[in-house]
Amino acid sequence: MRPATIGVVRFVLTGRAVPFARPGVVSGIAKQVRHAPVRLAADGFDGDEQGDRRVHGGPDKAAHVYAHEHYRDWIDELGPSAVLAVPGAFGENLSTSGLLERDVCLGDELRIGSAVVQVSQARQPCWKLNHRFGVSDMARRVQERGRTGWYVRVLRAGEVSAGDAIELVARPFPEWPLSRLLDALYRSSAEDSRAVLAAGLPLVPSWRRLFERRLESRRIEDWSARLGES
């Protein structure tokens, strides 16, 4: 039986790392639409770069996916914007239709074009969004609204292009849509953290450490430095 189609790729985008916002900072957040199939492998899309490989890119963040439906919500909230007038506003590699954070579960295996990927984590927005949008608290808004997008790791390399169906191959953790995981991450109690760890989710190491530390400290972390508020 063919996997169920749960979404579609609207745009594939890549970008080079260039100087950004502050002296000594480079970023690949500005992406351009690709008009032909692009190869997606374990380290990301051909032609895509990240400015700081300590926190961006790598096997667990091979590509960033963002729902195009969110653009209308942001325009309603912020007003018309040159950044929101074109795809790639959030530095996404795949702009999609049909998939919001509530529709995708951690660990989902998806076939996109000839590639197979796995949902690895939700995005944790950073201060660069504040500069990109010219909105001082944009990163916090993205975090609090839950319109974060998500990352995938690549299980089978292949080519991806606009118009490709997004097919659900496997869903091992249907009780854990990303929206629930985001609630646990940002509005968590110790009990929520315990539930995350007990579920046996395929958490990336940094997230596992975060929930383990939270159980020990019984405190939610201070996100202000990442969000550009310190």
CATH of the domain at 91: 2.40.33.20
Residue 133 lies in a domain: yes
Residue 100 lies in a domain: yes
DSSP class of residue 172 equals S
pLDDT at 25: 86
Residue 180 lies in a domain: no
In this structure, how many other beta carbons lie within 10 angstroms of the beta carbon of residue 171?
A: 19
Residue 220 lies in a domain: no
Nearest-5° Cα angle at 86, 51 to 157: 55
Residue appearing with tokens 């854990």: 176
**Alpha helical stretches, state H, the chain:** 70-78, 128-133, 138-145, 178-186, 190-198, 205-217, 224-227
Report the C-alpha gap between 230 and 214 in whole angstroms.
21
Residue 75 lies in a domain: yes
Residue 195 lies in a domain: no
pLDDT at 191: 80
In this structure, how many other beta carbons lie within 10 angstroms of the beta carbon of residue 179?
A: 17
Query: 3-state class of 191 per DSSP?
Result: helix
Residue 101 lies in a domain: yes
In this structure, how many other beta carbons lie within 10 angstroms of the beta carbon of residue 59?
A: 13
Going residue by residue through the chain, which has 230 residues, state the pLDDT in tens, using 9 for 90 and above: 678 999 999 999 999 999 887 888 889 999 999 999 999 999 999 999 987 666 677 899 999 999 999 999 999 999 999 999 999 999 999 999 999 999 999 999 999 999 999 999 999 999 999 999 999 999 999 999 999 999 999 999 999 999 999 999 999 999 999 999 999 998 877 788 889 999 999 999 999 999 999 888 888 888 999 999 86
**At a CB cut-off of 8 Å and minimum separation 6, what does 172 contact?**
107
**Is 115:34 a contact under the CB 8 Å cutoff?**
no
Residues 196-203: contacts with CB within 8 Å, 24+ apart?
A: 199/173, 199/175, 201/106, 201/107, 201/173, 201/176, 202/106, 202/107, 202/118, 202/120, 203/106, 203/121
Locate 149 and state its tokens: 């997008």
Residue 127: domain span: 4-173
Residue 218 lies in a domain: no
The total number of structural domains in the chain stands at 1
Residue appearing with tokens 């351009």: 32
Read off the pTM.
Answer: 0.95
Residue appearing with tokens 């260039």: 18
Report the C-alpha gap between 85 and 105 in whole angstroms.
29
